[in-house]
A and B are shown apart, each in its own frame.
Chain A
């Protein structure tokens, strides 16, 4: 399909439309109204201007140190996190649906987590099968009956949405453990305001810059009740973690200490950090360390990233962890397939944001269908994230399909399958002009026990390689700024 004749510019000569939903152009090739300003800007952009803005952007990123380290190459080479200069635009009404849908979803998932670690009503009524929960590797029996501050299990969430062919947003997966990427959302915005100030001003974009303060006040409101001026820290696995840049970024934005496990010490069910002025009590931990590594006495004994005795301090109510321990059960991909039922059960509502159709491999009929149709489906391991343990049917070899067939038959509980989605595409700017690329959206959701709030926007990830569906940065993915419009 071609673009209308009014666009004779070489800028768009490589732009392709097909069955995937295009964010900028309607199916008949006309520009969607909310992209009109950007479209006109791109038509007028000369190659020199483009280079100039691109250079300005590169320099800004480098100077701010918004980079990630590539190991194995030239030792310690730092690369700029790949980004694209054309913003992804979401209208007011589209955002309204996303926002309501996510509030509903996160509210229900918190109730679910509380329920399965207490009475287990939803299991008794067999809405969610009991064995599914107890066989999940992220289920933490240590959390059974533990009183979690304000019943907030997931204070910080990043849920991945994609837009399917009809234009509808659907939920691809929830990240209820330690979602990352928010620093790139903030950096992208900073960059766009710097590189395209005029058009940004004209568009009426809802601000996201106060995310740091909002995160801080969420953490503060979760502090143990008796503590007037709570000490809040960010717990990082350390400098070798791939998200370390984000940890330093957020700690700085919130003005809190960035601590490692070895800075902390549990004594008499109280948690302290070692400072040069002596031990200082810690009340709230925004932890970016996985459950497994938090406390060698309770979880993996070989972890040196955590704090011995932390779980006991936590159970005694003397420290709050955000997120709580054991939340991974609710983003297990097999449990995911029950989320519409979970929403219905706790809230009596239908899910506003639908799931992607999901085949459970424990179901005999679904499994035999999947095994016969592997070349058209996507298979995922239930406990993985970040694009690991996946088979993308249409891009797979016969050998890989055989391998997955074997794995599914050996351990059906550990896999689900979904149809291959045509992710929506958005315009991206390359040296050769504007081309369409697949994108997703990860909004960042905060829950302080009273209210679920969502920063308007999120991280739009882009598969920068032509024809690719993989948006992960390790595999040629990048990101772009996400504009949610005021009206």
Chain B
């Protein structure tokens, strides 16, 4: 079955936007939680760090206090990076390919959008700030489950997978990088005593705290956290896991389409795959974690561009 380039593009972005919404929800949720514990610490610096983790420039100049910034990041439809804007964009994408996705998927994403949209932050903020973020996370998880069980696992499904994991790999790299840069001056191979909550929170941002403890026990060590979040191949919120899926998804798409243009994008995916396969945490900590994570992000960007030039906006001459 042929798939229009526009449809592939739309599915890919639908998935990326949902992943972004969930990621932002998780980070904000933990950020607000941490602020409860450390009310004395400078809130502005904390917000700066959150913005850096999300790869965002600073909020509008008139926003200084936490409530306004939280609202801006959560429910401001005019802020393209807000959770609501991401969910809205995902829904718009789904709407344009309604006949290509299952009706269950459409109904769910539509419902999720209306559920989040009807929220007013004021009562949420003073009462149960985490309910809203939980609803976003659950909604996105449910969408993924519905997608897997109601959509044929063909080309479209693979574009959805690739979209999700390209987004996840690059946002994870950004998050880890920001965190390690902030704590650059502490010994990485010793158990954390100060700022314990900060490091646990990093794991929790990746929903990885429980999974980490099962592997390394509750002894929190930065080098182990780096190893886990970058290299673990079994846990879904790690760079390695994401890259495995990008690689596999692109292989499947290449097989289904039999496209002659697939070679370049598959080579890039293979290269990133190998980068993760053949490095170790000691090596990269010694050589520069920042450079390594930056390389991951750059390569994700290259893969994104290569997906476009292979499947979506390729030059017409190649086929005529």
Contacts and interface: CB of A to CB of B under 8 A. Distances in A.
Contact of B103 (A65, A239, A268, A272): A65
Contacts of A124: none
Give the interface centre of A251, A258, A262, A274 by most chain B CB atoms within 10 Å: A274
A398 interface: no
B4 interface: yes
Contacts of B217: none
B257 A257 contact: no
A268 B320 contact: yes
B319 A276 contact: no
B99 A251 contact: yes
B99 A278 contact: no
Contacts of A251: 99
A230 to B, nearest CB: 14
Interface in B1-19: 2-6, 8
A63 B3 CA distance: 26
Nearest to A265: B316
B57 to A, nearest CB: 30
A276 B320 contact: no
A264 B318 CA distance: 16
Contacts of A267: 316, 320
A268 B317 CA distance: 11
A409 B155 CA distance: 61
Contacts of A276: 2-5, 8, 155, 253, 257, 259, 311-312
Nearest to A278: B319
Interface string A243-278: 000001001100001111011010110001111111
B4 A278 contact: no
Nearest to B96: A239
Q: For chain B, what secondary structure do more than half of its interface residues adopt (helix, strand, loop), or is it mixed? A: helix
B99 A262 contact: no
A275 B98 contact: no
Contact of B2 (A65, A262, A268, A275): A275
Contacts of A257: 2, 4
Interface in B293-320: 311-312, 314, 316, 318-320
A275 B4 contact: yes
Interface string B40-60: 000000000000000000000
B182 interface: no
Most chain A CB neighbours (cut-off 10 Å) among B8, B261, B311, B320 = B320
A267 B319 CA distance: 11
A130 interface: no
B258 interface: yes
B108 interface: no
Interface residues of A, number: 25
B260 interface: yes
B258 to A, nearest CB: 6
B95 interface: yes
Given A65-B103, A239-B95, A248-B98, A279 B319 contact: yes
Interface in B89-129: 95-96, 98-99, 103, 106
Interface in B37-91: none
A278 B103 contact: no
Interface residues of B, number: 26
Contacts of B258: 277
Nearest to B3: A276
A265 to B, nearest CB: 6
A300 interface: no
A280 B259 CA distance: 12
B320 A263 contact: no
A260 B99 CA distance: 14
A263 B319 contact: no
B320 A277 contact: no
Given A263-B6, A268-B320, A278 B314 contact: yes
Given A65-B103, A252-B99, A279 B316 contact: yes
Contact of B260 (A258, A263, A278): A278
Contacts of A279: 316, 319-320
Contacts of A239: 95-96, 98
A277 B103 contact: no
Given A251-B99, A258-B99, A278-B260, A272 B316 contact: yes
A248 B318 CA distance: 31
B310 to A, nearest CB: 8
Nearest to B107: A65
Nearest to B253: A276
Given A272-B316, A276-B155, A259 B99 contact: no
B241 to A, nearest CB: 25
Interface in A260-310: 260, 262-263, 265, 267-268, 272-280
A240 to B, nearest CB: 10
Contacts of B319: 272, 278-279
23 contacts: A65-B98, A248-B99, A257-B2, A272-B320, A274-B4, A274-B312, A275-B2, A275-B3, A276-B5, A276-B253, A276-B257, A276-B259, A276-B311, A276-B312, A277-B257, A277-B259, A278-B257, A278-B259, A278-B261, A278-B314, A278-B318, A279-B320, A280-B2
Given A65-B106, A276-B4, A276-B5, 20 more contacts: A239-B96, A248-B98, A251-B99, A252-B99, A260-B6, A262-B6, A263-B5, A263-B6, A267-B316, A272-B316, A272-B319, A272-B320, A274-B4, A274-B314, A275-B4, A275-B5, A276-B253, A277-B259, A278-B260, A280-B2
Closest 7 CB pairs of A and B: A277-B257, A279-B319, A248-B99, A274-B5, A276-B311, A276-B8, A278-B319
